Amino acid sequence: MSDHAVRVLETTEHRAASVLFRTTLHAKSGTDEEWARGSRTYQPGSTWGVFDPELIGTARSFDEELTVPGAGRIPLAAVTGVGVRADRTRRGVLTELMRTQLTELAERGTTAAALYPTESPIYGRFGYGASTVAKSYTVDRRAARLRPEVPAGGEISLLDLEETVRRYPEVYAGVAGDRPGRLARSPYWWAVADIHLNRNTDLVRSALHHGPDGVDGLVTYSVKHSGRGHDEKLAAEIIALHAATPSAFAGLWRHLLGLDLIDTVTAHLRPADEPVELLLTDPRHCRIGTTEDELWLRLIDVPAALAARTYTGGEVVIDVVDPLLPANSGRYRVSADGAAPTEAAADLRLGVDTLAMLYLGTWSASSLAGAGRIEELSPSALAGADALFGTRVSSWCGTFF
Ligand SMILES: CC(C)(COP(=O)(O)OP(=O)(O)OC[C@H]1O[C@@H](n2cnc3c(N)ncnc32)[C@H](O)[C@@H]1OP(=O)(O)O)[C@@H](O)C(=O)NCCC(=O)NCCS
């Protein structure tokens, strides 16, 4: 038995949780002015604290919706602000926090939780799995040329920082599409985005793309200066890029590549299938950098999550193992008709963390089995699962929190 108490914090305790969390990240406490903004990112009733009797650990979440394959949406808890005081680590405090948070989120009817971990070894033990990946790239703007057949795109209009902050939520709702992994973005997330945009010390602005039916794309970027005189270099760093159509995507890139004085255009954590190099006469002027894990997903209500997405192909029975939330453990029949619990014999056995990696289609069942994460109980079941869980476009979140 532990002598810790874990409970949901009152709104008046949120600032203490924020101070503790920042300390765990080795950051200073915010000023009163910063907290006036920061407090807007805390959803009431969704911050947990561990006491011994002082506050020594915290985690919070805010309500989101996650787009799943087939364009359905599931209720999601976006988990963030996780930290344990440095003099109380490695004695099970996070474990208690995660157990309580996930159990209470399950009681509230949340279908899944997700987070962007600071370090990858932390959350697998609690049933989280890396469910999307994202790439970074840098385009040599001075050298890059668009291929002649690339769509012309529409008109561009510029927004300054203030207009970007004001218009971005409405533009996102209209143009972000239904890629698996997309978040609806609650007001709590937009409050975080405002803080980040306003904190940027470089010039920040956006270009809106106007298509035949109105605004159908947006790119927000900052411009960093380095070096001096004739050696000065200007790098545009993409903060956000959303395009509802290939024409809008091409139009936004036509704008970026036409920016005088800019040497490079860099983007981080972009969709794995974002086709920038395909637009260029020489694809090597787009240098692909790292591919990294992005959103880590934890299925809290496995039957609801499996039923919410669509599948293509035959049929497979999966046996899911979830020691932390045992109600999820059991067999599920997955087919083009949907997914539901079954008593039929299992074809594949996997942990709930591995199911999260399969769920948005980022990793194939065959790859996961090859890495020892799925047990194949009947021949050819892996090929069936590859087809069923596969998606037409790469899943991607793009909503860092
Ligand atoms: C990460 C953190 C929350 C872990 O808290 P904690 O109370 O020490 O975690 P626990 O004691 O419950 O650890 C549970 C298990 O996870 C492992 N673990 C915890 N943090 C880990 C890390 N950063 N890397 C690798 N393993 C880790 C522990 O070794 C332990 O393993 P075991 O069960 O095999 O013994 C804490 O170290 C912290 O606040 N770090 C700095 C802030 C941070 O990174 N927060 C995460 C934001 S996403």
Report whether pLDDT(1) > 60. no
b/e burial code for range 213-231 (CB count within 10 A of at least 16 → b): eebbbbbbbbebeeeeeee
Pocket of ligand 1 (CB under 6 A): 24-25, 82-84, 89-95, 115, 117-119, 121-122
Residue minimizing CA distance to atom 10 of ligand 1: 92
Q: How far is CA 340 from CA 107, 181, 289, 302, 319, in A?
A: 20, 22, 40, 10, 12
| pLDDT at res. 380 | 92
Alpha carbon dihedral 161, 175, 169, 47, in 10-degree steps, equals -120
Whole-number percent of the chain with pLDDT over 70 = 100
Q: With a cut of 60, say whether residue 97 has pLDDT above it.
A: yes
Given a cut of 70, whether residue 67 has pLDDT beyond it is yes
pLDDT digits (tens, 9 = 90+) for 125-163: 999 999 999 999 999 999 999 999 999 999 999 999 999
Known active-site residue 123: yes
Q: Is the pLDDT of residue 60 over 80?
A: yes
Q: What is the pLDDT of residue 248?
A: 98
pLDDT at 338: 98
Mean pLDDT of 95-113: 98
Q: What are the pLDDT digits (tens) for 273-297?
A: 999 999 999 999 999 999 999 999 9
Q: In this structure, how many other beta carbons lie within 10 angstroms of the beta carbon of residue 184?
A: 16
CB atoms within 10 A of CB 80: 19
Per the residue annotation, which of 123, 128, 172, 249 is the catalytic one?
Answer: 123
Q: Kindly report the protein residue whose alpha carbon is nearest to atom 4 of ligand 1.
A: 94
Active site residue 249: no
Atom 36, ligand 1: residue with shortest CA distance: 84
Q: Is the pLDDT of residue 361 over 60?
A: yes
Split at pLDDT 50, 70, 90, the class of 366 is very high
Ligand 1 centroid, distance to 135 Cα (angstroms): 26
Report the distance separating Cα 356 and Cα 208, nearest Å: 35
Q: What is the mean pLDDT of residues 239-254?
A: 98
Mean pLDDT of 155-183: 97
Q: Looking at residues 212-232, what average pLDDT do you find?
A: 96
8-state DSSP, 18: H
CA-closest residue to ligand 1 atom 45: 83
State in Å: Cα 120 to ligand 1 middle.
10
User: Looking at residue 3, what is its pLDDT?
Assistant: 77
